[in-house]
């Protein structure tokens, strides 16, 4: 219960795979390989969104919205670039596929976008999001003054090989004044 206060909304789908148990529950239904899978998946995730809403569980609602967003963005990625790779080996953007507006992945993206828009514009979600945003920086400070320097005290992602984990930075933030 106390750790729920540490949840941050982020931007778009940011943090969509980091918050357990929501990630495990929602990810089990997340599919965008074709239109049939996208319909079934987006309907189930939106149903979960409504269930979280009935329980007044903002984190569950926001995580559901993030997975709907990810369904849209990932399907669009594969519609634009069937290999899933946007950049070539020299770092140049690959050209979009000729059928990037009409292929099956594009139709899957449209399905997810419709459900994402329903969730994101839900009046109860909008109000709860506004309340959460207003309180999220009050509950836990982002910086702490240590030895007369502002130091970041938020969790940041760290990569060890192919695995992602988090740790408390405790590093001085170069973007804050050090007095």
pLDDT in the model for residue 11: 73
pLDDT tens sequence across 70-104: 999 999 999 999 988 989 999 999 999 999 999 99
pLDDT in the model for residue 80: 92
Q: Are 67 and 27 in contact (CB under 8 A)?
A: yes
pLDDT tens sequence across 103-136: 999 999 999 999 999 999 999 999 999 988 887 6
Name the phi and psi angles at 53, rounded to 5.
-65, -40
């Amino acid at each position: 219960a106390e750790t729920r206060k540490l949840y941050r909304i982020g931007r778009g789908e940011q943090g969509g795979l980091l918050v357990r148990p929501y990630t495990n529950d929602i990810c089990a239904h997340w599919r965008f390989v074709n239109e049939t899978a996208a319909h079934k998946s987006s309907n189930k995730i939106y149903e979960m969104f409504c269930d979280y809403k009935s329980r007044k569980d903002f984190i569950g609602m926001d995580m559901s919205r993030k997975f709907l967003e990810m369904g849209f963005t990932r399907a669009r990625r594969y519609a634009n670039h069937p290999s899933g790779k946007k950049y070539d080996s020299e770092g140049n953007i690959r050209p979009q596929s000729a059928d990037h507006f009409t292929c099956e992945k594009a139709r899957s993206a449209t399905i997810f976008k419709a459900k994402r828009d329903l969730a994101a514009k839900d009046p109860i979600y909008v109000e709860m999001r506004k309340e959460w945003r207003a309180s999220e920086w009050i509950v836990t400070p982002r910086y702490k003054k240590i030895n007369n320097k502002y130091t970041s005290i938020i969790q940041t992602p760290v990569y060890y090989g192919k695995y992602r984990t988090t740790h408390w930075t405790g590093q001085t933030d170069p973007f804050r004044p050090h007095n």
